[in-house]
């Protein structure tokens, strides 16, 4: 039992009941994540990325295997694993402030005084640059602003793990770039562990420490893991011409469009149970085959 | 290979396939652990050997936890076969049968108390003692199984509850004593009743089962005409509501109940639909925040189903008004309906004009009722931008 693994997915398999018998969405997903690590999950639509995230969040129960956070099994949702949903999921009848307040009241009830709670809510809205719209309802602000409030709500729970399901998927490119920068700042400042689902290769390479590439379903699993060894802070403009950056980009693209394009092709060999690349032990920017 | 690959576990207390120990063994074997077993008496030997073989183990030792020599012998056997041990599962508990029947005071004896504590609680300490050398340096774990009866009085569990309480205390002392050597203890399992908490159901909408149960009833009663209800209601009211100085006239009560029976359904159905169609993501927000049932209902379910509830209320109000007129005619309750009916019956030359006026008034009142409900909705609903029509 190695304590340095903050979050561990062990042999996660999930079946969904359907009319024609159980459908195996994920099979044998193994992943060990260190504290403060930024992980991106990338893969074709329907490969079970969201399912992985929902299992970590506790919203789904794995059929076999499980998730261990700080040595405890995850079997229900909880505020230490905050979720930023794809469609912001703010309560439309509450203002930005009240939406964050709902979370803060729940998590810090009895631990913070009223004034401290107010300060903490405002601090988190400040973090995502949303103080100017604190009294606006979700339908009065833009998509990017809603997503910011969603992130503020998640951060306000002081989560150990931040789970993001395509948080910027529905935004235009400029807003997205803006939010990515904010997210990098926040991640650098708070050091939360982050698992983010994305479809955007640039986003994945720019933000992540590791990119987890998923094979196609059914019975999807982790195809390959790519270590991104670019120094932080990262700047999108300088990186645009960086050969290493472009190498990573093309590796991900190759995985998505060559190796995973035609399902049924021969897959990489199983490398045994200890098939996980550790953050510490990776010495060169290399691509490793981890599982099939 | 699973997350227990390379781990070695000794399972103490496997007696049959219904033992909790058997479930634990299967799970451990599935996750790649190597297993060894003990059996209590020779009678159990073949059965335990057979089960051990099913999970790929041939290491089976005799051990009656009542005897220290047997415990030592079994651990010596384990030590010969393996160079160390990672896990010991203690799934042992016993009290004489007479102790577990009837009242606690009458059933409990000095000897029964001794046996229950010896076999169920001391044995865990004895196992820890014997296992200590083998667990050394391997961050081992000792597991035992307790039950709710350790902390609450459960009928007939009697002296076993006391023994389990002792066992749970032993876990704490063992953890304190041996924790520094990297040995962990757990009694986290209170296996029965294994409960899956049923959660969250406002009326039918949040509970699919309740909805399934009630929906046929609702759908059957919904289309029943007020004309069919009225005679039944009249009969019931006449039979039940007998008072010399009634607060309400019988005809009034009859109309009121009939109206209720007819206009109830749209509100129920729409509320149900509204509650069940709350955005799943919003419900997930509630789950992630671990909101309790009441907060979820007040903060998430009610606000988001208000529009549907009002649609139902407006339908109900419209139907109620229509039914009221009809009920007044039939029940002879003073009101617009009775007025129209009386005018029709007396056949004077002005009747038609009066009836026409009454019809228009009925229509206008209905319109005003609907408007007032809309106004109410605009005051209550959070969505001020919604176009209400």
Which residues of chain B does A92 touch, with a Cβ-Cβ cutoff of 8 Å?
Answer: 304, 382-383
Instruction: Return the CATH superfamily for domain B208-380.
Output: MetI-like (1.10.3720.10)
- Name the maximum alpha-carbon separation found in chain A: 60
User: Tokens 């009225």 correspond to what residue?
Assistant: B230
Residue B239: Cβ-neighbour burial (10 angstroms; 0-12, 13-18, 19+)? exposed
Residue A111 falls inside a structural domain: no
Q: What angle do CA A35, A41, A46 make, to 5 degrees?
A: 145
CA distance A285 to A228: 7
Residue A92, min C-alpha distance to chain B (Å): 8
Which pLDDT score, from 0 to 100, does residue B122 have?
A: 93
- Which residue in B39, B94, B147, B211 is the catalytic one? B147
> What are the tokens at B165?
């309480």
Q: Do A273 and B31 touch (CB under 8 A)?
A: no
Which pLDDT score, from 0 to 100, does residue B188 have?
A: 53
Question: What count of CB pairs under 8 Å joins A to B?
Answer: 70
Of B284, B289, B300, the CB nearest to A106: B289
Q: Kindly report the CATH class assigned to B8-189.
A: alpha beta
Q: Do A93 and B383 touch (CB under 8 A)?
A: yes
Q: Do B382 and A93 touch (CB under 8 A)?
A: yes
Residue A257, min C-alpha distance to chain B (Å): 31
For B218, the 3-state DSSP assignment is helix
Which pLDDT score, from 0 to 100, does residue A219 have?
A: 84
- Which residue in B39, B94, B157, B211 is the catalytic one? B157
pLDDT digits (tens, 9 = 90+) for A123-170: 989 888 888 988 998 888 888 889 889 989 998 888 999 999 988 887
Which pLDDT score, from 0 to 100, does residue B380 have?
A: 80
Q: Do B281 and A102 touch (CB under 8 A)?
A: no
Of B5, B290, B304, the CB nearest to A78: B290
Mean pLDDT by 10 residues, chain B (389 residues): 81 82 86 90 87 90 90 91 89 84 86 91 91 83 84 83 89 83 66 34 55 80 82 88 79 86 85 83 87 86 86 89 87 87 86 92 93 87 65
What is the CATH classification number for the domain harbouring A238?
3.40.50
Which pLDDT score, from 0 to 100, does residue A282 have?
A: 37
Q: Give yes or no for A272 touching B (CB within 8 A).
A: yes
For A266, the 3-state DSSP assignment is coil
On the question of a common fold for B8-189 and B208-380, the answer reads no
Q: Do B288 and A89 touch (CB under 8 A)?
A: no
Which residues of chain B does A91 touch, with a Cβ-Cβ cutoff of 8 Å?
Answer: 282, 285, 299-300, 303-304
Evaluate whether B204 touches B211 at the Cβ level (below 8 Å).
Answer: yes
Residue A259 falls inside a structural domain: yes
Residues forming beta bridges with residue B10, ordered by sequence position: B36, B88
Residue A230 clears pLDDT 90, i.e. is over it: no
Residue A118 falls inside a structural domain: no
Domain boundaries, chain B: 8-189, 208-380
Q: Give yes or no for A158 touching B (CB within 8 A).
A: no
Four-CA torsion A10, A16, A17, A22, nearest 10 degrees:
-70
Which residues of chain A does B289 touch, with a Cβ-Cβ cutoff of 8 Å?
Answer: 79, 102-103, 106-107, 157
In angstroms, the Cα distances linking B137 to B12, B99, B173 are 22, 41, 20
- Per the structure, the complete domain to which residue A70 belongs is given by 5-80+211-289
**Interface pTM (ipTM) of the complex?**
0.75
Which residues of chain A does B189 touch, with a Cβ-Cβ cutoff of 8 Å?
Answer: none
CA distance B270 to B278: 13
Residue A197 clears pLDDT 90, i.e. is over it: yes
Is B147 a known active-site residue? Answer: yes
Which pLDDT score, from 0 to 100, does residue B384 have?
A: 62
Q: What angle do CA B57, B63, B66 make, to 5 degrees?
A: 155
Residue A94, min C-alpha distance to chain B (Å): 8
Better-predicted residue by pLDDT, A63 or B190: A63
Q: Do B299 and A79 touch (CB under 8 A)?
A: no
Of B2, B285, B291, the CB nearest to A89: B285
Q: pTM for the whole thing?
A: 0.61
H runs (alpha helix) in chain B: 20-30, 45-54, 68-81, 104-107, 110-117, 123-135, 158-178, 208-221, 226-240, 250-276, 280-288, 293-295, 302-331, 336-346, 351-380
Which residues of chain B does A76 touch, with a Cβ-Cβ cutoff of 8 Å?
Answer: 287, 290
Q: Give yes or no for B27 touching A (CB within 8 A).
A: no
DSSP state of B388: P
Evaluate whether A7 touches A69 at the Cβ level (below 8 Å).
Answer: yes
> For residue A112, what pLDDT band results from cuts at 50, 70 and 90?
confident
Residue A195 clears pLDDT 90, i.e. is over it: yes
Residue A281 falls inside a structural domain: yes
Q: Give yes or no for A156 touching B (CB within 8 A).
A: no
Residue B176, min C-alpha distance to chain A (Å): 19
DSSP state of B369: H
Residue A277 falls inside a structural domain: yes
Residue B363, min C-alpha distance to chain A (Å): 35
Which pLDDT score, from 0 to 100, does residue B118 have?
A: 92
Residue A196 falls inside a structural domain: no
For B281, the 3-state DSSP assignment is helix
pLDDT digits (tens, 9 = 90+) for A5-48: 789 998 889 988 888 888 888 888 999 999 999 999 998 887 88
> Total structural domains in chain A?
1
Residue B286, min C-alpha distance to chain A (Å): 9
């Amino acid at each position: 039992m190695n304590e340095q693994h903050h979050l561990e997915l062990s042999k996660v398999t999930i079946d969904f009941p359907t009319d024609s018998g159980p459908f195996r969405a994920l099979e044998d997903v193994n992943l060990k994540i260190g504290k403060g690590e930024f992980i991106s999950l990338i893969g074709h639509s329907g490969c079970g990325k969201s399912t992985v995230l929902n299992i970590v969040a506790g919203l789904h129960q794995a059929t076999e295997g499980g998730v261990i956070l700080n040595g405890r099994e995850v079997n229900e949702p909880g505020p230490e694993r905050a979720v930023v949903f794809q469609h912001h999921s703010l309560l439309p009848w509450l203002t930005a402030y009240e939406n964050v307040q709902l979370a803060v009241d729940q998590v810090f009830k009895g631990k913070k005084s009223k004034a401290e709670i107010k300060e903490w809510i405002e601090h988190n809205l400040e973090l995502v640059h949303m103080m100017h719209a604190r009294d606006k309802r979700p339908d009065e602000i833009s998509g990017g602003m809603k997503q910011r409030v969603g992130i503020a709500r998640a951060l306000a729970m002081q989560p150990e793990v931040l789970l993001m399901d395509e948080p910027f998927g529905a935004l235009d490119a400029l807003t997205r770039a803006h939010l990515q920068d904010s997210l990098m700042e926040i991640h650098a400042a708070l050091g939360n562990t982050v698992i983010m689902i994305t479809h955007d290769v640039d986003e994945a390479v720019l933000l992540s420490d590791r990119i987890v590439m998923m094979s196609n379903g059914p019975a999807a699993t982790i195809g390959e893991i790519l270590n991104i060894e670019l120094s932080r802070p990262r700047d999108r403009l300088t990186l645009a011409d960086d050969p290493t950056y472009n190498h990573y980009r093309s590796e991900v693209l190759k995985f998505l469009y060559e190796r995973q394009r035609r399902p049924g092709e021969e897959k990489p060999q199983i490398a045994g149970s200890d098939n996980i690349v550790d953050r510490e032990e990776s010495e060169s920017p290399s691509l490793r085959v981890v599982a099939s | 290979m699973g997350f227990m690959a390379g781990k070695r576990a000794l399972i103490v207390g496997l007696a049959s396939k219904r033992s909790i120990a058997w479930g634990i063994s299967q799970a451990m074997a599935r996750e790649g652990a190597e297993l060894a077993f003990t059996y209590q008496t020779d009678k159990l030997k073949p059965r335990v050997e057979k089960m051990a073989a099913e999970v790929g183990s041939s290491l089976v030792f005799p051990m009656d936890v009542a005897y220290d020599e047997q415990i030592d012998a079994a651990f010596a056997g384990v030590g010969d076969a393996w160079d160390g041990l990672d896990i010991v599962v203690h799934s042992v508990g016993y009290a004489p049968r007479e102790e577990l029947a009837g009242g606690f005071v009458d059933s409990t004896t000095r000897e029964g108390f001794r046996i229950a504590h010896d076999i169920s609680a001391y044995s865990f300490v004895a196992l820890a003692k014997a296992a200590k050398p083998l667990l050394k340096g391997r961050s081992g774990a000792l597991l035992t199984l307790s039950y709710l009866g350790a902390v609450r009085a459960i009928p007939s569990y009697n002296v076993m509850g006391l023994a389990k309480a002792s066992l749970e205390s032993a876990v704490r002392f063992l953890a304190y004593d041996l924790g520094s050597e990297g040995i962990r203890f757990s009694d986290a399992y209170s296996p029965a009743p294994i409960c899956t908490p049923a959660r969250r159901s406002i009326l039918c909408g949040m509970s699919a089962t309740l909805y399934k149960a009630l929906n046929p009833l609702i759908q059957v009663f919904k289309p029943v005409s007020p004309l069919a209800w009225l005679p039944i209601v009249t009969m019931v009211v006449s039979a039940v509501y007998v008072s010399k100085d009634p607060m309400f006239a019988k005809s009034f009560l009859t109309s009121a109940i009939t109206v209720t029976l007819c206009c109830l359904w749209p509100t129920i159905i729409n509320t149900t639909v509204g509650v069940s169609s709350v955005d799943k993501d919003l419900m997930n927000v509630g789950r992630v925040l671990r909101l309790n049932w009441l907060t979820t209902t007040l903060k998430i379910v009610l606000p988001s189903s208000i529009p549907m509830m009002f649609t139902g209320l407006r339908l109900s109000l419209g139907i109620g008004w229509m039914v009221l007129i009809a009920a007044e005619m039939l029940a002879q309750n003073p009101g617009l309906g009775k007025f129209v009916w009386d005018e029709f019956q007396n056949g004077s030359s002005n009747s038609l004009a009066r009836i026409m006026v009454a019809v228009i008034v009925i229509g206008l009142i209905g319109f005003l009722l609907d408007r007032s409900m809309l106004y109410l909705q605009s005051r209550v609903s959070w969505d001020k931008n919604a176009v209400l029509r």
